[in-house]
Amino acid sequence: MRSLNALLAGSTLALGLTGVAHAAFPSYPTPGIENATTYTFTATDTGSLVAYFAGADAGDDEDLGLIINMIDQGAGVFPNHTTAVGATHSWAVTAGDSLVFYIVDHNISTNWYSDPAMNGGFNAIYSTGYGGGDAGIPAGSYTFVAFEDRGPGGDVDYNDETFVFRNISAVTHGGVPEPASWALMIFGFGAAGSMLRRRRTATV
Ligand SMILES: [Ca+2]
Ligand SMILES: [Ca+2]
């Protein structure tokens, strides 16, 4: 039970941090350790998938590409050294389309994909929810995606090129539950506890 309490305390802290209005862009919490959580992305609604450039730490020349339903739409979006933070780009999508994002690192002629299976198993991204409020991005519900450009054995800091997307849904696999999942679980624990208490008082 002690470990559960520790986890709950940690998640309360995480919820508090993510609840701050107009916070800076998210950042990967454990640099140096490959992200254990992987993600599958799909288009939420038929219409525009909007991307915002959220910054780049990379010295290499890099840009963004997208694969929709296994069809490569090409790269060249948001060249990292000439794009202003907050710049936008959009693609037309249909609800349910499968989406794989990738960056091209031109210095090492390597693509890094959001699907680890396409990187020989290496997880090249960190992703989390984001509420907008930075660099002219309106408040709203977004998905933040941050790429690592050095692969296994690199610094795995997941800040080498970062983006914000609207109109995509992320399913997470493995790793630690997202703060939103924790909120649901904590709510669930509370509901179960109050049901038990109610049942107990009813039988006395
Ligand atoms: Ca890096
Ligand atoms: Ca970096």
Q: How many CB atoms lie within 10 A of CB 178?
A: 18
Ligand 1 centroid distance, CA of 154 (Å): 7
All structural domains of the chain: 24-177 (2.60.120.400)
Residues with Cβ–ion distance below 5 A, ligand 1: 148, 150, 155, 157, 160
In 3D space, the residue among 146, 158, 159 whose CA is nearest the CA of residue 101 turns out to be 146
Ligand 1 centroid distance, CA of 204 (Å): 61
Q: Can you give the pTM of this predicted structure? A: 0.76
**Distance, CA of 134 to CA of 141 (rounded, Å):** 13
Ligand 2 centroid distance, CA of 94 (Å): 33
Q: Which ligand is nearest to the CA of 149?
A: 1
**Per-position pLDDT tens, the chain of length 204:** 444 444 444 444 444 444 444 458 999 999 999 999 999 999 999 999 999 999 999 999 999 999 999 999 999 999 999 999 999 999 999 999 999 999 999 999 999 999 999 999 999 999 999 999 999 999 999 999 999 999 998 999 999 999 999 999 999 999 765 556 556 666 666 666 666 666 666 555
Q: How many CB atoms lie within 10 A of CB 184?
A: 12
